[in-house]
Structure 1
């Protein structure tokens, strides 16, 4: 773990202050919208294009005004920003990392290194997030250094460690948890997980769901409780179903009106209420597809391949797979193989769809030069890739 002294002298980092006198200013006055000294600073120390530096300066000025921060002299302001950058450099951030952090959260340059950044960094390190992992988290989620340490940052990390039991998973989640979502973790995640556990959801299932960081698990607990009840009563998905959590995600991310609209689309294609309910229970994720995607897939699967609604309701993977990248190319290949008599066995299209890309290529494409062009035309995969024999390891066969 890095050791920090009580004072930060910035021995390493960007030597900006020394050359401050030679900066070319855009104006002799201090603008509340774009600080000329700060604009020069971003250009010279971080390599910002001038226009980008201007927009970042404006953003920071608005943050300062919103916080009621009094104006300070140009030199004092830039000096503080420079101390922040030197600190980040000292603890391992590269030039490009710092630039990305400043673009995402320029208000970090307002932080006091000794009073804010050092204590926060030390505390986060002690909680098991240090070295390259700490840098990766801050790169994509600089809010971890901006939010209140004791009321937001520490409770959020503690909640994740308590639930996940694995620092690697905690780090993976922190990389995705920006701004408000990070704050909601500290406030809502533990009671929400407790609620799901009370409903009999296994902790292993919850952990996998937390890794995906659905907004459902960081919403207010009373809202989640209402969603859980509706999943069971309106969607008809029992608590012990593997699809129960996906149902929660669906109802948390879509309005009742949107879901009803999609139900009607299925019915317009001849689906009965029973078919729709079956699909809800089998794969609620299907209703997360866009309206255009649902219509396009149903049109092809029902009108081109002549599948019945009751069959599609049970074989939901046909609806979740990509039509353009998987369904159509594989259908065209099998069609040509059968027409030319190149395969004697009657292969199920469902089986072919479930194969991984490399498995499908090895079994149905690579051995038959007659379908190379067909597959290339419909999938966009080059003939060079096909003739290489696909040396990559198989991915999950059911992944679409």
Structure 2
């Protein structure tokens, strides 16, 4: 028996020879070989040291890299990108503990059978790596693919709500039905994926609160109203309305009209709203009534859109290259490309450097620091 025991021990030592880790305080002669999980995660899997330190706790029971090596070999051989695997392992390090034959092979085949390509599986693995150990998630992928119509919307929804596939469809379907009744499209549902996982009673409250803002269902603005209520919480809407009324210095009726036209203004912080309002009234010279009738203007970036466009329109006016009655809101609403085509390109020869100066201003450089 003693001879057999010594024989087995010598075989183990031959298979896993002891090594000395540079940070170890023990010597190879006195300590058995150990699987250095953190080092493996960094060197082999591509995790950052911080990610590896956290993820290694889930691999503390491993004695060798044999199974992790087999997992990586199978998944990379199946077409998964190393970057996606690294992201997935950082989220769910236990993926490296899966059995290739019993778990990964049949699950991977099942996911392929519902119509996903290896590249698409790779992208999902980076977000929901535990899909290989939870068979119910695979059927849910099939459900959302059918609902959303394409993989890109599914991927977008999972990025916003990684736990979406972990939610039972019995909870999701009532919320989905209500959102569709409100006129939301498949792409809207992907945007509102967090609401799908919310308690149905809560979703009903949010919908009712959005309607109380005066925005009817099945209108283009309802989505914005629902999102604003979702972000703020229906209990905070009243306080936000009072704050907006005080900031604008307007009547309740004027504010209600502005919110119906652009419910997204409810999500603008008090500081940004005050700075933007001051600029529009003092620098641009707009009346409050003009602004309230065009509330989307309050949501544009002050530094990257409002200030640069105001500054360059004034340059053109000063040089007699633009009409004095340019409507500021119309100019602000233009896309970057169209604004440049209409206001910058036609005058670039007359004012050398105008296009470059405008590009610099939109990139964050203060227009008043730009010399033309």
TM range (shorter): 0.7 to 0.9
Gaps of 5+ in 1: 1-17, 30-34, 65-70, 383-400
Residues 342 and 186 of structure 1: is their aligned pair in 2 closer, same or farther, counting only changes over 3 Å?
Answer: same
Residues 274 and 19 of structure 1: is their aligned pair in 2 closer, same or farther, counting only changes over 3 Å?
Answer: farther
Deviation per CA, 1:293-346: give whole Å up to 9, x if none: 222212212333333343323312211221111111111111121122122463
TM-score normalised by length of structure 1? 0.74
Q: Does 1:84 align with 2:71?
A: yes
Structure 2 counterpart of 1:276? 255
Structure 2 counterpart of 1:133? 120
Larger Rg: 2
Structure 2 counterpart of 1:99? 86
List aligned pairs for 1:1-400, cutoff 5 A. Answer: 21=17, 23-25=19-21, 26=24, 36-46=35-45, 53-58=52-57, 60=58, 71=61, 74-75=63-64, 78-146=65-133, 148-150=134-136, 153-178=137-162, 180-184=163-167, 186-197=169-180, 199=181, 201-202=182-183, 205-232=184-211, 234-256=212-234, 258-268=236-246, 269-344=248-323, 346-366=325-345, 367-368=347-348, 369=351, 372=354, 375=358, 378-380=361-363
Structure-1 separation of matches of 2:320 and 2:49: 65
Structure-2 separation of matches of 1:48 and 1:158: 30
Report the secondary structure of 1:83's partner residue: helix
TM-score normalised by length of structure 2? 0.79
CA RMSD of superposed structures (Å): 3.0
Determine if contact 1:286/1:320 at 8 Å carries over to the other structure.
yes
Structure-2 separation of matches of 1:22 and 1:311: 78
Structure-2 separation of matches of 1:380 and 1:39: 41
Structure-2 separation of matches of 1:19 and 1:276: 76
Structure-1 separation of matches of 2:308 and 2:318: 15
Determine if contact 1:250/1:288 at 8 Å carries over to the other structure.
yes
Structure-1 separation of matches of 2:42 and 2:196: 41
Deviation per CA, 1:3-30: give whole Å up to 9, x if none: xxxxxxxxxxxxxxx995364343669x
Structure-2 separation of matches of 1:19 and 1:352: 73
Deviation at 1:122, TM superposition (A): 1.7
Report the secondary structure of 2:36's partner residue: helix
Structure 2 counterpart of 1:15? none
Report the secondary structure of 2:17's partner residue: helix
Gaps of 5+ in 2: 1-13, 28-33, 366-372
Structure-2 separation of matches of 1:346 and 1:352: 11
Report the secondary structure of 2:322's partner residue: coil
Higher relative contact order (CA 8 A, sep 6+): 1
Determine if contact 2:281/2:287 at 8 Å carries over to the other structure.
yes
Structure-2 separation of matches of 1:43 and 1:23: 18
Structure 2 counterpart of 1:4? none
Report the secondary structure of 2:71's partner residue: helix
- Count of paired positions: 339
Structure-1 separation of matches of 2:264 and 2:188: 14
Structure-1 separation of matches of 2:259 and 2:48: 51
Deviation per CA, 1:104-127: give whole Å up to 9, x if none: 321212223233322322221111
Residues 346 and 20 of structure 1: is their aligned pair in 2 closer, same or farther, counting only changes over 3 Å?
Answer: farther
Structure-1 separation of matches of 2:191 and 2:130: 20
Structure-2 separation of matches of 1:288 and 1:219: 20
> Bigger shift: 89-98 or 167-176?
167-176
Structure-1 separation of matches of 2:114 and 2:98: 22
Residues 214 and 339 of structure 1: is their aligned pair in 2 closer, same or farther, counting only changes over 3 Å?
Answer: farther
Structure 2 counterpart of 1:3? none
Deviation at 1:207, TM superposition (A): 0.8
